[in-house]
């Protein structure tokens, strides 16, 4: 009951979806739409589960007086504020439970959710990701000092692509004669992106697709069961 | 009030930007505070986004406007609630039912989708006549495209040890993959640098008014 019924559910749902692809008539064509709608709704609950879990983990750290507990408290407060203002007064596109919050909008110039998005979430996320530029540079330095042909190939391609996408790169090779214009950095960068890069991406896509088809079959047939967890 | 809130918002952005950048020196309380606030805000942002774009149109609106006509939606609702039972140790096993339905459905969808687009689609896109192009550069490119795809796929064939003559296409495949990783690396660096320029522009233009 605890183990076999879920496996039967997975098998039936998987087979129904596959069959519906080959029989585009009622009731099969409706089944896939219904299952996809259900999938979206259940995924919604799964995300709620994730957020509750995050909340619980933070509360545990605060209660246990973890060395950094004031920061976790700040995280919980920011989570609660963003969630409350989003649900009560909605976002730019949607109406909240208490309406659009016209008075608050008049006071702060926009909806509180959008205010927090523009002045806290957006600067935080873009700065956090821009910080990666420095770490990528240091990681690249460490990676490229391993002098192999492959690592050189990677570095040379990266440099050509980076230079080819800037006006400086175009300026560097603008003196090339018409006959050698395919070596002009922006053209070379386009060539790399269009041919060798596409070839490798295709190889990855084809191989990954084979892997996904194999694992999907294993899941549908009940060979792969790790997603069900332990036997509690 | 609106003017004050705009100024307050600007200073809030500056505080968060400088706090995150302070990590470049070393880990410090300002960074830790901003990091946790970022985690909290992004979790809540995605939850609100999910509520308005998934739960409201697909579930709540349908149930509130025509409950009898949408009775079938109670099944995913109950399954979703069963998913939340994972939080209670004694009823944890009940969450296996919605998980199994989700995994089974996505396995079925992915199997067909990837077979169509990524497997057959990409193979048929590679089956081209390389000499049909009107210039030499494209002909060379097309040959590289075909050779690179075949060698790349061959590299991922792990069922037999690749040695001797069999290692040659595998080696070629690695080279193509390295070129692709280099291109992706270049693009990632460019994207991060443009974000960095955006933040510096914000500090120097919007906050300090040093540049116009």
The contacts of residue A42 (CB under 8 Å, 6+ apart) are B76, B79, B80, B83, B98, B101, B102
A176 touches chain B (CB under 8 A): no
For residue B107, being part of any structural domain is answered with no
> How many C-beta atoms surround the C-beta of residue B140 within 10 A?
15
- Residues of chain B contacting A183 with CB distance shorter than 8 Å: none
Provide the number of structural domains found in chain B.
1
User: How large is the average pLDDT for residues B27-45?
Assistant: 96
Residue B84 maps to a domain? no
Taking only the tens place, the pLDDT of each residue in A46-101 is: 999 999 999 999 999 999 999 999 999 999 999 999 999 999 999 998 999 999 88
**What pLDDT is attached to residue B180?**
96
Q: What is the pLDDT of residue B163?
A: 85
Report if residue B138 sits inside a domain.
Answer: yes
Residue B152 pLDDT level (bands cut at 50, 70, 90): very high
pLDDT at residue A202 above 90?
yes
Task: List, for residues B185-194, the tens digit of each pLDDT value.
Answer: 999 989 999 9
Q: With a threshold of 0.85, tell me whether the complex ipTM lies above it.
A: yes
The C-alpha atoms of residue B105 and residue A43 are separated, in whole angstroms, by 12
CA–CA distance, A232 with B86 (Å, rounded to integer): 11
Cα(A117)–Cα(B42) distance, rounded to whole angstroms? 9
Residue B189 belongs to some domain of the structure: yes
Is A139 near chain B, with CB under 8 Å? no
Amino acid A215: pLDDT: 96
Is residue A114 scored above 70 in pLDDT? yes
- Mean pLDDT, residues A182-192 taken together: 93
The reply to whether omega before A135 is within 30° of 0 (cis) is no
**For residue B30, what pLDDT is reported?**
97
Residues 68-87 of A with CB under 8 A from B: 68, 71-72, 74-83, 86-87
pLDDT in the model for residue A182: 86
| Candidates B48, B52, B114; nearest CB to A212 | B114
Distances (CA, A) of B68 to A33, A43, B62, B64, B71: 20, 24, 10, 10, 5
Q: Stretch B110-123: mean pLDDT, rounded?
A: 94
Residue B151's pLDDT band (cuts 50, 70, 90): very high
Residue B194: inside a domain? yes
Is residue A155 within 8 A of residue B182, CB to CB? The reply is yes
- Statement: residue A232 has pLDDT above 60: no
Per-residue pLDDT, A146: 66
Residue B168 lies in a domain: yes
pLDDT of residue B142: 96
B16 inside domain: no
Query: Is B202 among the domain residues?
Result: yes
Give the confidence band of B158 by pLDDT, cuts at 50, 70, 90.
Answer: confident
The per-residue pLDDT for range B104-114, each reduced to its tens digit, is: 999 999 999 99
pLDDT at site A231: 54
Residue A192: pLDDT band (50, 70, 90) is very high
The distance of Cα A232 from the centroid of its chain, to the nearest Å, equals 31
Q: Which domain holds residue B139?
A: 129-212
Tell me the pLDDT of chain A averaged across its residues. Answer: 91
CA distance B190 to A162: 7
Share of chain A above pLDDT 90, in %: 65
Residues in CB range of A58: below 8 A, 6 or more apart: A72, A73, A75, A76
Residue B25 sits at the chain A interface (C-beta within 8 Å): no
Report d(CA B181, CA A217) in Å as an integer. 30
Which pLDDT score is estimated for A59?
A: 95
Mark yes or no for CB contact A78/B37 under 8 Å: yes
The mean of the pLDDT values for chain B is 93
Pick the closest to residue B21 from B193, B200, B206 (CA basis).
B200
Mean pLDDT calculated for residue range B61-83: 93
């Amino acid at each position: 009951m605890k183990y076999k019924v879920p496996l039967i559910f997975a098998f039936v749902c998987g087979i129904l979806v596959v069959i519906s692809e080959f029989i585009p008539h009622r009731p099969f064509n409706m089944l896939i739409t219904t299952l996809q709608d259900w999938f979206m709704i259940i995924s919604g609950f799964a995300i709620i589960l994730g957020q509750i879990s995050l909340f619980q983990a933070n509360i545990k750290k605060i209660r246990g007086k973890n060395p950094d507990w004031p920061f976790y408290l700040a995280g919980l407060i920011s989570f609660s504020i963003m969630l409350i203002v989003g649900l009560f007064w909605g976002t730019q596109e949607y109406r909240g439970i208490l309406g659009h919050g016209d008075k608050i909008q008049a006071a702060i110039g926009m909806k509180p959710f959008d205010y927090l998005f523009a002045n806290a979430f957006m600067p935080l996320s873009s700065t956090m990701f821009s910080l990666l530029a420095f770490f990528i540079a240091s990681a690249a330095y460490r990676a490229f000092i391993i002098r192999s042909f492959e690592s050189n190939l990677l570095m040379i391609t990266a440099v050509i692509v980076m230079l080819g996408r800037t006006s400086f790169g175009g300026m560097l090779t603008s003196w090339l004669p018409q006959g050698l214009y395919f070596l002009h950095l922006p053209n070379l960068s386009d060539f790399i992106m269009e041919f060798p890069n596409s070839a490798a991406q295709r190889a990855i896509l084809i191989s990954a697709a084979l892997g996904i088809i194999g694992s999907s079959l294993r899941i549908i047939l009940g060979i792969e069961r790790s997603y069900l967890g332990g036997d509690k | 009030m609106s003017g004050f809130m705009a100024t307050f918002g600007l200073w809030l952005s500056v505080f968060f930007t400088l706090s995150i950048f302070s990590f470049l020196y070393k880990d410090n309380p300002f960074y830790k505070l901003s990091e946790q606030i970022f985690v909290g805000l992004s979790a809540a942002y995605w939850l609100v986004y999910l509520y308005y774009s998934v739960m409201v149109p697909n579930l709540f609106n349908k149930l509130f406007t025509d409950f009898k006509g949408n009775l079938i939606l109670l099944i995913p609702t109950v399954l979703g609630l069963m998913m939340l039972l994972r939080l209670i140790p004694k009823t944890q096993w009940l969450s296996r039912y919605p998980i199994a339905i989700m995994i089974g459905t996505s396995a079925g969808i992915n199997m067909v989708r990837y077979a169509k687009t990524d497997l057959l689609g990409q193979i048929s896109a590679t089956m081209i006549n390389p000499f049909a192009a009107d210039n030499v550069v494209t002909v060379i490119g097309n040959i590289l495209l075909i050779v690179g795809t075949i060698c790349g796929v061959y590299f991922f064939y792990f069922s037999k040890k690749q040695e001797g003559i069999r290692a040659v296409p595998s080696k070629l495949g690695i080279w193509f993959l390295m070129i692709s990783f280099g291109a992706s690396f270049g693009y990632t660096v460019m994207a991060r640098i443009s974000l960095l320029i955006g933040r510096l522009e914000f500090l120097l233009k919007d906050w300090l008014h040093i540049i116009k």
